[in-house]
């Protein structure tokens, strides 16, 4: 990120049954309870949060707190650790950075905070007639032969569809037929967004 920061992991917290059955309790892999950590009741670890007389947040030992899911994605950025509920999450305290330096989706990996990966492209739809309209008459005749040789299940699915979407099995089967007849470059042209 280009930021000189210190990261302290307080561990991965999982739920356990505490003294009061109506409340959720969380403990890290070292057996430390999240709420005991916050109150400074764990030897060698100071208080994680200081609250005012009416329970309002005053300060904590870190400038920023990150909550990370089991896949390493940052899901929450906090200044006040008392707002964190770490169910099946890792809690990180960060110094040398500000909350605006982080966002949900960033990755915690190898002791570093990495930029969020780019979002996958949104799936798009095309009318199932579009590829046919883009074909020459000769291409359409050749594709029709291959289409009619396809399984009944595929043809029934295709006939009942209104549109095609790249993240479906129907698209994959249709694309395989087109590539088999027309090749990959032409198939890509036929299946382009509208």
As for how many domains the chain has, the answer is 2
Contact in structure between 135 and 143 (CB atoms under 8 Å): yes
Based on the fold, state whether residues 14 and 104 are members of the same structural domain: yes
Distance CA 99, CA 101 (A): 5
Distance CA 12, CA 87 (A): 9
% of the chain with per-residue pLDDT over 70: 95
Strand partners, 112: 109
Give tens-digit pLDDT for 1-23: 445 789 999 999 999 986 666 67
Strand partners, 15: 26
| Domain limit, last residue, from 114, 134, 154 | 114
Give tens-digit pLDDT for 68-121: 999 999 999 999 999 999 999 999 999 999 999 999 999 999 999 999 999 888
- Note down the domain range covering 134: 126-190
Contact in structure between 62 and 95 (CB atoms under 8 Å): yes
Based on the fold, state whether residues 136 and 83 are members of the same structural domain: no
Based on the fold, state whether residues 52 and 97 are members of the same structural domain: yes
């Amino acid at each position: 990120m280009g930021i000189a920061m210190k990261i302290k992991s307080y561990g991965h917290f999982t739920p356990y049954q505490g003294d009061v059955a109506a409340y959720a309790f969380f403990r890290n892999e070292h057996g430390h309870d999240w709420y005991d950590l916050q109150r400074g009741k764990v030897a060698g670890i100071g208080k994680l949060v200081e609250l005012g007389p009416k329970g309002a947040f005053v300060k904590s030992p870190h400038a920023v707190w990150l909550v990370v899911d089991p896949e390493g994605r940052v899901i929450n950025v906090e200044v006040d650790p008392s707002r964190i509920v770490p169910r099946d999450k890792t809690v990180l305290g960060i110094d040398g950075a500000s909350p605006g330096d982080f966002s949900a989706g960033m990755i915690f990996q190898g002791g570093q905070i990495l930029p969020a990966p780019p979002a996958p492209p949104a799936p798009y739809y095309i009318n199932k007639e579009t590829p046919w309209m883009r074909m020459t008459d000769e291409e359409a005749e050749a594709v029709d032969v291959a289409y009619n040789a396809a399984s009944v299940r595929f043809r029934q699915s295709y006939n009942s569809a209104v549109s095609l979407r790249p993240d479906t099995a129907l698209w994959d089967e249709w694309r395989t037929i087109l590539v088999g007849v027309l090749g990959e470059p032409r198939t890509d042209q036929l299946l382009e967004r509208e």
